[in-house]
Amino acid sequence: MPYDSRNAQPGEIVLANARLILAGETVTGSVVVRGGLIAGLDTGAGVPPGALDCEGDLLAPGLIELHTDNLERHIEPRRDVAWPHAAAIVAHDAELAGCGITTVFDALRAGSLTDPQRGYRPYARALATEIAELRRAGALRISHRLHLRAETCSETLTEELAAFGPEDEVGILSLMDHTPGQRQFRDLALLRAYTMGRRSVTDAEFDALIADRLALSARFRAGHEAAAVAAARRLGATLASHDDTTPEQVAISAAHGSRIAEFPTTHEAARACREAGIAVMMGAPNLIRGASHSGNAAAMALAEAGLLDILSSDYVPASLLLAAVRLGEARGELAAGFATVTAAPAAAAGLTDRGRLAPGLRADLLRVRMVGGLPLPRGVWVAGSRVA
């Protein structure tokens, strides 16, 4: 049976005696699945004949991931080690399914440097085509969409974006700006430590790199930013900002039409996003660790201030479920934590057919057993078909 989640499966299954994660509450009940959709919900611990007894486990909507770099880790498992793309995509897909993620927006970098000695080559167009081919072949377990990370501090962004059309179903386009001295890299001392920890570079080589990036940004950034905003409109993609640090940057993001703020670096920026009606997304690894690895705002602190809407696994797929549970426990209601990885990301990305347990929506489901405070996926269904 093909995994492609677009092919809703026939027949009926009943998942009974589960703790259902609903909007704002958790109740014991059952879910009826028919034709790949949720056909009905019921309350009570009864297990009808032929139903799957969930034995009191949690039953939540499948998790929705809006920004993950995980696929890049699979296509380059070590620095300068290229892995066959089809094998990498399938492994990435299986890993996410095993973590309870049923919809993913694969984040692909658009915007490169033409000189291989200075940076990196284009890959987004070719990789997007390979994802689409595997999806059509029924080789993928979960629902894959595209998230183009538009790097404005680059040379090739405009032409790379021009290679995508509405048929590619780009769901999110984020404005990335990694110019040294601002946003995520505003502290050059931290950037120096990060860069020299990853590469064997001297102080002089680091200084030359900074000068090169600043010149690149001065030459291209403004034009690339305008081109990226126009591309998001042309492609029908949700526009996201990235690493907003100041209220002034948030104001620019709002003027562009951004609906999602990825990883704002300060409380002031997160508060400005809330005032502008922009959903705030933070990293699940940040929440689990209790701090940002680069010295920026802590996700749990933003959550406690009422300034966190969505969680993203970022670079650790398994972090999404654990962070949802940790946040739910901190808020005193599991449903509140799960909303940040189900209903909220679905709404932000314009997905109206999933993200909640409700009749008529896709039967993307996640069964979770709690073992010593650790949430363990016990079953994952996409459009009514079990995939993990």
Looking at residue 377, which CATH number applies to its domain? 2.30.40.10
pLDDT more than 90, % of the chain = 79
pLDDT range class, residue 79, cuts 50, 70, 90: confident
Whether 37 and 186 map to the same domain: the answer is: no
For residues 94 and 253, what is the distance between their CA atoms, to the nearest angstrom? Answer: 35
pLDDT range class, residue 19, cuts 50, 70, 90: very high
Whether 35 and 161 map to the same domain: the answer is: no
Tokens 């998942």, located at residue? 15
pLDDT at position 10 over 60: no
Crossing angle between the packed helical segments 247-256 and 267-276, to the nearest 10 degrees: 30
In terms of Cα–Cα distance, which of 116, 132, 136, 134 is closest to 124? 132
What local confidence, expressed as pLDDT, does residue 39 receive? 98
In terms of Cα–Cα distance, which of 312, 369, 361, 313 is closest to 37? 361
Whether 109 and 226 map to the same domain: the answer is: yes
Residue 192 sits in a domain whose CATH number is 3.20.20.140
For residues 210 and 32, what is the distance between their CA atoms, to the nearest angstrom? Answer: 57
pLDDT at position 253 over 90: yes
Tokens 């703790």, located at residue? 19
pLDDT at position 116 over 70: no
Whether 199 and 303 map to the same domain: the answer is: yes
The DSSP-derived string for 211-263 is: HHHHHHHHHHHHHHHHHHHHHHHHHTPEEEEES--SHHHHHHHHHHT--EEE-
pLDDT range class, residue 5, cuts 50, 70, 90: very low
What local confidence, expressed as pLDDT, does residue 224 receive? 94
* pTM for this predicted structure: 0.91
Pick from 12-26, 76-90, 282-296 the range whose average pLDDT is largest.
12-26
What local confidence, expressed as pLDDT, does residue 213 receive? 78
**3-state DSSP assignment of residue 86:** helix
Whether 340 and 362 map to the same domain: the answer is: no
What local confidence, expressed as pLDDT, does residue 119 receive? 63
For residues 224 and 110, what is the distance between their CA atoms, to the nearest angstrom? Answer: 11
- Model pLDDT for residues 265-280, shown as the tens digit of each residue: 999 999 999 999 999 9
Which alpha helices (H) appear in the chain, and where do they start and end?
A: 70-75, 85-98, 124-136, 157-162, 188-198, 203-235, 247-256, 267-276, 284-289, 299-304, 319-331, 334-339, 343-348
- Into how many domains does the chain fold? 2
Tokens 């969680």, located at residue? 311
Structural domain span for residue 367: 1-61+356-388
What local confidence, expressed as pLDDT, does residue 204 receive? 77
Average pLDDT over residues 322-336: 97
What local confidence, expressed as pLDDT, does residue 1 receive? 30
Cβ contact 375:65 at 8 Å: no
Question: What are the residues whose beta carbons fall under 8 Å from the beta carbon of 355, sequence distance 6 or more?
Answer: 61, 64, 342, 343, 344, 345, 346, 347, 361
Average pLDDT over residues 219-248: 95
Summary mean pLDDT of the chain: 91
Cβ contact 221:214 at 8 Å: no
The strand pairing partners of 374, in sequence order, are: 371
pLDDT range class, residue 221, cuts 50, 70, 90: confident
Burial class (CB in 10 A: 0-12, 13-18, 19+), 184: buried
Structure tokens at 132: 């689409």
What local confidence, expressed as pLDDT, does residue 184 receive? 66
pLDDT at position 212 over 90: no
For residues 276 and 251, what is the distance between their CA atoms, to the nearest angstrom? Answer: 8
What local confidence, expressed as pLDDT, does residue 4 receive? 42
According to DSSP, residue 25 is labeled E
Whether 75 and 128 map to the same domain: the answer is: yes
Whether 37 and 174 map to the same domain: the answer is: no
**3-state DSSP assignment of residue 36:** coil
Whether 27 and 69 map to the same domain: the answer is: no
Whether 22 and 110 map to the same domain: the answer is: no
pLDDT at position 8 over 70: no
For residues 111 and 73, what is the distance between their CA atoms, to the nearest angstrom? Answer: 18
Whether 57 and 86 map to the same domain: the answer is: no
pLDDT range class, residue 200, cuts 50, 70, 90: low
pLDDT range class, residue 202, cuts 50, 70, 90: confident
Tokens 């009808």, located at residue? 48
Whether 243 and 119 map to the same domain: the answer is: yes
Q: Which residue type is seen at 138?
A: G
Whether 370 and 346 map to the same domain: the answer is: no
- Model pLDDT for residues 27-78, shown as the tens digit of each residue: 999 999 999 999 999 999 999 999 999 999 999 999 999 999 999 999 999 8
Average pLDDT over residues 168-188: 79
